[in-house]
Amino acid sequence: MDLNEQLAARQARARERMDELAIDVLLLSVGADLPYLTGYEAMPLERLTMLVLPRGGESILVVPELEAPRVEPRPGAFELRTWSETEDPIAIVAGLVGPAARSVAIGDQTWARFVLRIQDAVPAARMHPASVVTSPLRVVKDSTEVEALRAAAHAVDAVGAEMRGRPFGGRTELDIHREFSDRILEHGHERVNFAIVGSGPNGASPHHEASARVVNDGDVVVCDFGGTMDGYCSDITRMFVVGEPSAEVRDVYDLLVDAQEHAVRAATVGTSCEAVDATARRIIAAGGYGDRFIHRTGHGIGLEAHEDPYLVSGNRTPLEPGHAFSIEPGIYFPGRFGMRLEDIVVASDDGPDRLNAAPRDLAIVG
Ligand code: ZN
Ligand code: ZN
Ligand code: ZN
């Protein structure tokens, strides 16, 4: 199946889902749903780009005239409707939606400036988030998508392995962050999404932004990094320590490795998302650090770095073949240090397919 056929097949499945939900039209602008269904990513600008996908008709991509040269034609996936600087794209979209539409799904990340005007222009239609249509499709990755995720994972694996031979002590977090970013791009990613470098006490803040703090001897350093390669995301966390780790650091890390390993093995088809979370949590709690594991165990990954399915208490969704997600338990000591270990895993009939293979032991660096 070539990409055009693949896009047409995805749109056909979106239409089936719209049938089930009695949604007349799907409207997509910025965000990952649009490239998923058209192969085209909207420019995040004040000029509106919007796919109008009616349940029973042809898809039309409404695009500013000056951006039309960026659009690759996709026969069978959409027709192009360009708008010139003096036209009103909202009127064009409203015209394509039509006065009979009663139920419209619009991209979850569409800007309010467009959503509010579209709502005014089609007052009879009730609006829903597009994810009710697209999430059940996107959450199951096909083999092409799994291979794209695997390639992205291998690229950041190489970065993680290389950094084990690099000095950390005496450098600022920002300097190390820049090195991670450069290497992510060198290994084939088109974009760096984040490169968290949390040294010493900063590591206790799970989403810490790299700062001017100089990494000291004895510091534990959380490095959580990833980007986008051929449209699909990578996301990995590895732990570094400057010089010999203390017995406490070793013990906490051993517990974390054990929790992560068991959660990965638990991620089999049919197991609920919350059961995988509970597996990691049980082990960390038994080690005495239950209240230090302050976030969910993982998130789905694909065209977006965080998407369905979320491995969190309360999510009873059973894992299906093709579900792709992170498993990233963490243990945090405010004011002292933090630790997290993260790999991307795909649920499959042959068991959990762990995409990352970079060494997982504590990296002792200079
Ligand atoms: Zn995160
Ligand atoms: Zn991460
Ligand atoms: Zn993650």
**Cα–Cα distance for residue pair 97/55, rounded to 1 Å:** 10
**Cα–Cα distance for residue pair 346/362, rounded to 1 Å:** 24
Give the residues across from 225 on adjacent strands.
195, 236
Q: How far is the CA of 130 from the centre of ligand 2 (A)?
A: 26
Q: How far is the CA of 207 from the centre of ligand 1 (A)?
A: 6
Q: Where are the domains of the chain?
A: 3-137, 143-365
* Longest pairwise C-alpha distance within the chain: 70
- Residues 177-202, buried b or exposed e (16+ Cβ, 10 A)? bbbbbebbbebebeebbbbbbbbbbb
Q: What is the DSSP letter of 22?
A: T
| Among the bound ligands, the one closest to the CA of 340 | 2
| Among the bound ligands, the one closest to the CA of 222 | 2
Give the mean model confidence (pLDDT) for residues 208-230: 97
Collect residues with CB below 5 Å from ion ligand 3. Answer: 235, 326
Q: Is residue 138 predicted with pLDDT exceeding 80?
A: yes
Q: How far is the CA of 22 from the centre of ligand 1 (A)?
A: 34
224 contacts 235 by C-beta, under 8 angstroms: yes
| Among the bound ligands, the one closest to the CA of 345 | 3
| Among the bound ligands, the one closest to the CA of 301 | 3
Q: Is residue 1 predicted with pLDDT exceeding 90?
A: no
Q: How far is the CA of 274 from the centre of ligand 3 (A)?
A: 16
214 contacts 172 by C-beta, under 8 angstroms: yes
Q: How far is the CA of 227 from the centre of ligand 1 (A)?
A: 13
Strand order in the sheet with 25-28: 79-83, 60-64, 50-54, 25-28, 103-106, 126-129
**Cα–Cα distance for residue pair 145/147, rounded to 1 Å:** 5
pTM metric for this prediction: 0.94
pLDDT in tens, 224-238: 999 999 999 999 999
| Among the bound ligands, the one closest to the CA of 196 | 2
Q: How far is CA 36 from its chain centroid?
A: 13
Collect residues with CB below 5 Å from ion ligand 2. Answer: 224, 235, 342
**Cα–Cα distance for residue pair 320/233, rounded to 1 Å:** 20
Q: How far is the CA of 328 from the centre of ligand 3 (A)?
A: 7
Give the mean model confidence (pLDDT) for residues 272-296: 98
- Write down the mean pLDDT value for the chain: 97
Q: Is residue 336 predicted with pLDDT exceeding 80?
A: yes
Report which of residues 148 and 75 the model is more confident about.
148
Query: Which CATH number is 143-365's, of 3.40.50.720, 1.20.1250.20, 2.40.50.140, 3.90.230.10?
Result: 3.90.230.10
239 contacts 363 by C-beta, under 8 angstroms: yes
Give the mean model confidence (pLDDT) for residues 73-96: 96
**Cα–Cα distance for residue pair 61/42, rounded to 1 Å:** 10
Q: How far is the CA of 323 from the centre of ligand 3 (A)?
A: 15
| Among the bound ligands, the one closest to the CA of 300 | 3
> For a pLDDT cut of 90, what percent of the chain falls above it?
98
Q: For residue 10, which of 62, 76, 93, 63 has the smallest C-alpha distance?
A: 76
Q: How far is the CA of 320 from the centre of ligand 2 (A)?
A: 22
E strands in the chain = 25-28, 50-54, 60-64, 79-83, 103-106, 126-129, 191-199, 220-229, 232-233, 236-242, 298-300, 307-311, 324-327, 330-333, 337-340, 343-346, 353-354, 363-365
- Helices within 23-130 (DSSP H only): 33-38, 89-97, 112-121
318 contacts 274 by C-beta, under 8 angstroms: no
Which amino acid type is present at position 125?
A: A
> For a pLDDT cut of 70, what percent of the chain falls above it?
100
Q: Is residue 64 predicted with pLDDT exceeding 80?
A: yes
Q: How far is the CA of 195 from the centre of ligand 2 (A)?
A: 9
Q: Does domain 3-137 have CATH number 3.20.20.150?
A: no
State the pLDDT at residue 218: 96
Residue partners of 143: CB distance under 8 A and separation at least 6: none
Determine how many CB atoms are found less than 10 A away from the CB of residue 1: 10
pLDDT in tens, 179-200: 999 999 999 999 999 999 999 9
Q: How far is the CA of 79 from the centre of ligand 1 (A)?
A: 37
State the pLDDT at residue 2: 86
| Among the bound ligands, the one closest to the CA of 295 | 1
